[in-house]
Amino acid sequence: MRIEQGDGRSGHRTLRTVALVLGGAAALSGALSGCISVNAPDKPIVIELNINIKQEVIYRLADDVKQNIESNPEIF
Amino acid sequence: MAHASNPKSRRRAIAGAMILALATAALPLQAQQRDPAYAAARAAGQVGEKTDGYLGIVGASTPELRALVDDLNIKRRANYTERARAQSATLEEYAFTQGCVLILRTVPGEKYQAPGGTWQTRGTGAPERDSRCP
């Protein structure tokens, strides 16, 4: 009984492996047959990193940045 | 009494004080002016103010322009880092806010970066800025 159960389990496992391999092959062949060509853009890709800056922070800093120009005019 | 009543010595004392005042005022003024090469590049539209608070090269780059822009941007970054810390803000937040004000303070003919990333020439009207700018 125990041996049969063990065989049954391994049989399930084999089926599952076969299914996975078949699925993978199907996905691969699908990807190969439906080729998509991607062209590199001629303009550089600009990632907007300033999107997370909050307006309230900008307003809080507004006076200090104006003072900064008066204090260090040679770098502006 | 004798000193004040002598107009010659009084005039000399005033002249001396004026020369001293001019000399002490001239020293920091000289150090605070824009570098002539930088002023020329700005006026010629070869460099412009970016939205991120740093300078950018607008047209074709040359080693001289690159060196000029890099030097100023390194100095700006050090300055922003220090001031951001004092204000408990991030470097990016401070630099961006500085960029808002620097773009606003460009004069007609100078270049600045619009929110979309394109270079614009400052006209007589207000510059195109990010909607969050003060």
The reply to whether residue A53 touches residue B93, judged by beta carbons under 8 angstroms, is yes
User: Does residue A72 sit at the B interface (CB-CB below 8 Å)?
Assistant: yes
B132, part of any domain: no
Domain range spanning residue B35? Answer: 7-121
| Residue pairs between chains A and B whose CB atoms are closer than 8 Å | 69
Alpha-carbon distance A58 to nearest alpha carbon in chain B (angstroms): 5
Position A47 scores a pLDDT of: 62
Q: Does A25 touch chain B (CB under 8 A)?
A: no
Whether residues B132 and A53 touch (CB distance < 8 A) is answered with yes
Count the domains in chain B. Answer: 1
Residue B133 lies in a domain: no
**ipTM score above 0.90:** no
| Chain position carrying tokens 């049954």 | A8
Within a domain: B13: yes
Q: What is the pLDDT of residues A9-41, one digit of tens each?
A: 555 666 566 555 655 555 555 555 678 888 877
Give the DSSP letter of residue A74: G
Residue B34 lies in a domain: yes
Considering the domain boundaries, does residue B108 fall inside one?
A: yes
Is B102 within the bounds of a domain?
A: yes
Question: What is the tens place of the pLDDT at every residue in A32-67?
Answer: 567 888 887 787 766 666 678 889 999 999 999 999
Residue B1 included in any domain: no
Whether pTM > 0.90 for this model: the answer is no
